């Protein structure tokens, strides 16, 4: 072995060496056995769960997400017989309009805007202002995060980015650990969207359920049912209540040992991340480089944020609530983010900052989210892999025969938690489970209250899995927006989310026993 190769192997982390070794073994197996695995309708039996399962297990075991996701993709190619994963999965996934939108909006625009704020000091100035008016310490900083999560309640990637970008400077200033911040942002994103239904979620679910059972004859029937079922979306409600209690540090006990350690570390040492962590955002997003002659003001923050909210929310409110366009309301997310970046640039230029300084800030901000772009690209690709090998279909088929009527809502919730965690998507889980779950529940017991419980269980269980999965875009973007290490975020929030999910499942079972 040459000195050069020895040096390279030495520099590789243990996690990387493990993942590379497993990937090489899978590649060899794929070449030999590709396309020979038996297929059972829409899935490959137990093999269907292995790509996301292996990726998640390796991510937890090795603490290295990029190579873990890649191993899962390679394994999916082996199972489906598509050895050329670039042509079969990577290009179709990252070459889509949806991924281009994520890259433009949630990565480049977000990173570019934060980068501009490192030159103008807008976010820092807002943090100082908020601290003097609203925030008095870590508790109120977390409560401010909770309120922003409810305000930006569109759900998913939109909420995580808007909330994270707004509250991060305040939370950092008040010594709130990045594990706490990422949990608060993630737990007030999709859960809030399912509890505050003024968004696209009811319409999306309506499109899946129209005509499946007699209760759902029209889109409006499903939307109305969604609203009526909100009190029984126990996970969404409990997740929001738990984050509120967590914000004010009123939980009798925090079930996550790592979260307790993160809180103690940040309060006693001021370290927002643990030693050895790898935050999703780099120093380009956190180090201030404000020109000496530039006078930072609140306009540097509220100008871009006001543009973003105005362009994104006002047209939606007008078209949906005023004009009554409930089928296709105008939601200009991409335009809002790009215009927010341009607004930040123009404000800085109008106040005398040099164009080169502005652009340097924008470019540095884009550099800072590079790792997030890579992880997200691989996560999106792994979702395509899971769909191609029938991960969700196999889990439904496996669990479906074991369902007992008295425990159907709790079992549906657990099933959705499992599928969404493995696939990293709540909407994808809805698409697979809802068309099966509602007819199944109706066949077992055609009672509106029973259907309501099953409906709420599917809604909440899918959100749990999406929120906690390390391959979910909301999980990744929550870490990115708050500057947290991805796996630190995942590990610290899962016990808290499991507590809310466990309480919710117990409530479903109790209500079925008492009232059905």
Q: Cα–Cα distance between 55 and 81 in angstroms, integer?
A: 19
Query: How many domains does the chain fold into?
Result: 1
**Residue 448 resides in a domain:** yes
Above 90 in pLDDT, residue 246?
yes
Structural tokens at position 12: 């590789």
Report if residue 74 sits inside a domain: yes
pLDDT at 5 (0 to 100): 40
Burial code of 316-352, b = ≥16 C-beta within 10 A, e = fewer?
beebbeeeeeeeebebebbebbbbbbebbbebbeeee
- Average pLDDT over every residue of 491-505: 96
Those residues with Cβ within 8 angstroms of residue 251's Cβ, 6 or more apart along the chain or in another chain: 242, 245
**Residue 414 token pair:** 């657990």
| pLDDT exceeds 80 at position 415 | yes
Cβ proximity of 434 and 467 under 8 Å = no
- Residue 503's pLDDT band (boundaries 50, 70, 90)? very high
Instruction: Classify residue 315: in a domain, yes or no.
Output: no
Residue 359 placed within a domain? yes
What are 424-477's pLDDT values in tens digits?
A: 878 777 877 787 788 878 878 889 999 999 999 999 999 998 899 988 888 988
pLDDT over threshold 70, residue 284: no
Give yes or no for a contact between 209 and 455, defined as CB atoms under 8 angstroms apart.
no
How many whole angstroms separate alpha carbon 361 and alpha carbon 311?
23
For the chain, percent of residues with pLDDT exceeding 90: 32
If one compares 249 and 8, the residue with the highest pLDDT of the two is 249
Q: Which residue, 253, 256, 257, is CA-closest to 245?
A: 253
CA gap 494, 256 in Å, rounded: 8
Please indicate, yes or no, if residue 4 is contained in any of the structural domains: no
Predicted confidence band of residue 264 (pLDDT cuts 50, 70, 90) = very high
Distance CA 422, CA 464 (A): 11
Residue 446: count other Cβ atoms within 10 Å of its Cβ: 12
The reply to whether 409 falls in a domain is: yes
pLDDT (0 to 100) of residue 7? 40
Q: Are 430 and 208 in contact (CB under 8 A)?
A: yes
For the chain, give the mean pLDDT. Answer: 83
Q: Using only the alpha carbons of the chain, give its radius of gyration.
A: 23
- Answer for the pair 477, 161: CB distance below 8 angstroms, yes or no: yes
Summarize the confidence of residues 152-165 as an average pLDDT. Answer: 72
**Look-up: residue for tokens 């006693």?**
268
Domain encompassing residue 73:
16-294+353-515
Place of tokens 């077992």: 444
The residue among 467, 475, 477, 482 whose CA lies nearest residue 171 is 482
Q: Running DSSP on this structure, what letter comes out for residue 332?
A: -
Q: Is residue 329 part of a domain?
A: no
- Spatial separation of the C-alpha atoms in residues 202 and 200, rounded to whole Å: 6
Question: What is the greatest pairwise CA distance in the chain?
Answer: 73
Q: Identify the pLDDT of residue 368.
A: 74
Query: Tokens at residue 75, please?
Result: 């394994």
**pTM greater than 0.85 (yes/no):** no
Within 8 A by CB and 6+ apart from 204, the residues are 427, 430
Q: Which residue has the tokens 């996301």?
A: 52
464/467 Cα distance (integer angstroms):
5
Q: Judge whether 48 lies within some domain.
A: yes
């Amino acid at each position: 072995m040459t000195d050069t190769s020895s040096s390279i192997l030495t520099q590789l982390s243990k996690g990387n060496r493990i993942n590379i070794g497993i990937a090489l073994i899978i590649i060899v197996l794929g070449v030999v056995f590709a396309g020979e695995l038996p297929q059972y309708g829409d899935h490959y039996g137990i093999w269907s769960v292995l790509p996301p399962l292996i990726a998640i297990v390796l991510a937890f075991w090795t603490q290295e997400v990029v190579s873990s996701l890649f191993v899962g993709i390679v394994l999916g190619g082996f199972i489906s017989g598509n050895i050329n994963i670039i042509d079969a999965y990577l290009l179709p996934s990252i070459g889509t309009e949806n991924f281009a939108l994520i890259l433009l909006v949630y990565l480049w625009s977000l990173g570019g805007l934060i980068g501009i704020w490192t030159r103008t000091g807008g976010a820092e100035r807002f943090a100082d202002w908020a601290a003097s008016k609203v925030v008095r310490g870590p508790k109120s900083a977390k409560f401010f995060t909770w309120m922003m999560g409810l305000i930006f309640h569109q759900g998913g990637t939109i909420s995580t980015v808007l909330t994270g970008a707004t509250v991060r400077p305040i939370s950092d200033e008040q010594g709130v650990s990045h594990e706490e911040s990422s949990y608060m942002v993630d737990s007030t994103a999709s859960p809030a969207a399912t509890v505050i239904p003024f968004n696209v979620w009811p319409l999306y679910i309506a499109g899946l359920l129209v005509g499946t059972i007699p209760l759902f004859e029209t889109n409006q029937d499903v939307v109305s049912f969604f609203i009526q079922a909100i009190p029984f979306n126990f996970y969404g409600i409990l997740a929001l209540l738990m984050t509120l209690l967590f914000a004010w540090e009123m939980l009798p006990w925090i079930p996550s040992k790592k979260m307790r350690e993160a809180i103690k570390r940040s309060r006693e040492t001021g370290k927002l991340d643990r030693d050895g962590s790898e935050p999703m955002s780099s120093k380009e997003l956190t180090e201030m480089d404000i020109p000496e002659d530039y006078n930072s003001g609140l306009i540097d923050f509220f100008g871009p944020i006001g543009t973003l909210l105005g362009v994104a929310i006002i047209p939606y409110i007008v078209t949906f609530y005023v004009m009554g366009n409930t089928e296709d309301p105008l939601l200009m997310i991409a335009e809002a983010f790009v215009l927010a970046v341009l607004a930040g640039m123009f404000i800085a230029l109008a106040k005398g900052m040099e164009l080169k300084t502005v652009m340097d800030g924008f470019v540095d901000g884009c550099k800072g989210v590079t790792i997030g772009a890579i992880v997200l690209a691989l996560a999106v690709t792994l979702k395509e892999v899971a769909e191609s090998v029938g991960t969700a279909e196999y889990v439904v088929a496996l669990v479906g025969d074991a369902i007992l009527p008295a425990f159907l809502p709790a079992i549906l919730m657990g099933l959705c938690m499992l599928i969404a965690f493995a696939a990293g998507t709540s909407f994808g889980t809805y698409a697979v489970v809802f068309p099966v779950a509602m007819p199944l529940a109706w066949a077992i017991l055609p009672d509106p209250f029973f259907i309501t419980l099953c409906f709420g269980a599917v809604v909440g269980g899918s959100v749990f899995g999406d929120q906690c999965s390390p391959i979910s875009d909301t999980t990744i973007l929550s870490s990115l927006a708050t500057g947290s290490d991805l796996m630190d975020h995942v590990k610290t929030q899962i016990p808290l989310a499991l507590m809310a999910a466990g309480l919710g499942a117990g409530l479903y079972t109790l209500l079925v026993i008492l009232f059905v």
